[in-house]
C-alpha cells in the first residue's frame, strides 16, 4: 500500500522535474507564436546549443581548477544564456525577418531549414556521438525507509525546480511590469497597431527571441546536467515535446506554457513508470494530436478568431 504511494509520488516528482524544463522551452515557442504567429521550428536546436555551451564552459572551468559547484553552474548557465540568445537573435534576423510578410508555409519551411542546418552544424563541429558529463551535484533528500520503500529527490531535481520557479517569476514580472513587457503584450494583440503607436516592433520581436533562447539555454544547462549527456539530436525531440506543452497549455499564453509543460512531464513520467518507457514519446505525440483535435485552443488559450 504505502509502497505504491511512494512509487507514485516518486513518478510525480520526476515528472515535475522534466516538466519544468519543458515549460522553460515552451515559453520560447509560445511567446514567438503569440507575437508573430509562427512556429519557431529551430527553437529546439537553440536549446541543444545551450546545452553544448554550458558543457563546454563547465569543462573549461574544471580544467582551470574551480571547485565551487554553484559558481561553475552559474557561470555555465550565464555563458549559455549569452551565446544561445545571440543564436536566437541571429536566427530571427537571418531566417525569419526577411519572410515576415510572406505566407506561413514559406516561413515555416525556412524555419525547418534553419533547424536542420543548426543540427548538422553542431554535429560537424562537435561530433555526432553522445558527450557525457560526469555529474557534479550528487545526493538528495531521502524520504522514508532507505532500505524499503522511499522517495528520493535528488539535489539536482530540487535545483531544476527552484531555478524554473525563479525564471518564471522573473519572466512574469518582466512581462507584467516592465516597459518592454508591456510592448510585448501589446504586440501580441495587434502588431500593426503597436507599430503605429511608436513602438519598434523589430525590437519587440528580437526581445522575444532573446528571452525564449535564454530560457531554452537555462533548460539546456539544467537538463544537460540532470541527464549527463548531450548529442546533436536532443534538440529535435525536446523541441517537439516543448511545442506539445505550449499547445497543451494554449499557444500564445505564457502561464499556459508553464502549466502545459508540467502536465506533459507528469503524464510522460507516469507512462514510463506504469506502462513502458519505450512508448513515452508516443504518448506525448498522441496527446498533442488529441489536444489539437478536441481542444485546439489549449487549456488557457483563447479561441482563435479568424480574421478575414
Q: Which residues bind another protein (CB under 8 A)?
A: 38-39, 49, 52-53, 55-56, 58-60, 62-63, 79, 83, 86-87, 90, 94-95, 98-99, 102, 104-110, 112-122, 124-126, 131-134, 236, 240, 243-244, 247, 278-279, 281-282, 285-286, 288-289, 292-293, 296, 304, 306, 308
Nearest approach, Cβ of residue 138 and another protein (Å): 13
- Using the minimum distance from each CB to another protein, give the nearer residue, 151 or 213: 213
Whole-angstrom distance, CA of residue 20 vs CA of residue 160: 8
List the one residue out of 34, 29, 10 whose CA is nearest residue 150. 10
Nearest approach, Cβ of residue 288 and another protein (Å): 5
Can you read off the three cell numbers belonging to residue 62?
Answer: 574544471
Are 87 and 212 in contact by the 8 Å Cβ rule? The answer is: no
Whole-angstrom distance, CA of residue 282 vs CA of residue 154: 27
- Using the minimum distance from each CB to another protein, give the nearer residue, 173 or 289: 289
- Using the minimum distance from each CB to another protein, give the nearer residue, 30 or 164: 30
Nearest approach, Cβ of residue 114 and another protein (Å): 5
Name, in order, each residue with C-beta under 8 angstroms of 8's C-beta and a sequence gap of 6 or more: none
Cα dihedral value 267, 272, 274, 275, nearest 10: 110
- Using the minimum distance from each CB to another protein, give the nearer residue, 181 or 220: 220
User: Exposed, middle or buried, 261 (CB in 10 Å: 0-12/13-18/19+)?
Assistant: buried
Give the bridge partners for 142, in sequence order: 152
Are 230 and 38 in contact by the 8 Å Cβ rule? The answer is: no
Nearest approach, Cβ of residue 226 and another protein (Å): 16
Nearest approach, Cβ of residue 234 and another protein (Å): 14
* Residue 277 DSSP one-character state: G
- Using the minimum distance from each CB to another protein, give the nearer residue, 9 or 112: 112
Nearest approach, Cβ of residue 306 and another protein (Å): 8
- Using the minimum distance from each CB to another protein, give the nearer residue, 7 or 236: 236
Amino acid at each position: 500500500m504505502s509502497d505504491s504511494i511512494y512509487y507514485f509520488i516518486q513518478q510525480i516528482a520526476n515528472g515535475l522535474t522534466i516538466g519544468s524544463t519543458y515549460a522553460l522551452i515552451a515559453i520560447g515557442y509560445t511567446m514567438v507564436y503569440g507575437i508573430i504567429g509562427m512556429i519557431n521550428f529551430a527553437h529546439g536546436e537553440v536549446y541543444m546549443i545551450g546545452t553544448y555551451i554550458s558543457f563546454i564552459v563547465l569543462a573549461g572551468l574544471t580544467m582551470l581548477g574551480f571547485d565551487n559547484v554553484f559558481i561553475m553552474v552559474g557561470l555555465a548557465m550565464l555563458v549559455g544564456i549569452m551565446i544561445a540568445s545571440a543564436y536566437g537573435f541571429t536566427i530571427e534576423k537571418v531566417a525569419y525577418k526577411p519572410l515576415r510578410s510572406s505566407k506561413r508555409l514559406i516561413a515555416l519551411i525556412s524555419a525547418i531549414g534553419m533547424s536542420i542546418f543548426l543540427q548538422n552544424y553542431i554535429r560537424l563541429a562537435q561530433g555526432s556521438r553522445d558527450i557525457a558529463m560526469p555529474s557534479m551535484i550528487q545526493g538528495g533528500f531521502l524520504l522514508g525507509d532507505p532500505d524499503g520503500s522511499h522517495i528520493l529527490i535528488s539535489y539536482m531535481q530540487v535545483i531544476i525546480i527552484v531555478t524554473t520557479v525563479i525564471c518564471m517569476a522573473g519572466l512574469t514580472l518582466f512581462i507584467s511590469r516592465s516597459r518592454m513587457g508591456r510592448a510585448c503584450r501589446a504586440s501580441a494583440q495587434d502588431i500593426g497597431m503597436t507599430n503605429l503607436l511608436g513602438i519598434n516592433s523589430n525590437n519587440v520581436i528580437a526581445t522575444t527571441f532573446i528571452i525564449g533562447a535564454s530560457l531554452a539555454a537555462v533548460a539546456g544547462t539544467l537538463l544537460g546536467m540532470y541527464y549527463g549527456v548531450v548529442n546533436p539530436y536532443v534538440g529535435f525531440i525536446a523541441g517537439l515535446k516543448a511545442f506539445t506543452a505550449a499547445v497543451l497549455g494554449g499557444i500564445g499564453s505564457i502561464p499556459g506554457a508553464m502549466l502545459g509543460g508540467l502536465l506533459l512531464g507528469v503524464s510522460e513520467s507516469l507512462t514510463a513508470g506504469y506502462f513502458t518507457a519505450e512508448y513515452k514519446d508516443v504518448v506525448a505525440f498522441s496527446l498533442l494530436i488529441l489536444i489539437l483535435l478536441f481542444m485546439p485552443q489549449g487549456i488557457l488559450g483563447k479561441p482563435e478568431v479568424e480574421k478575414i
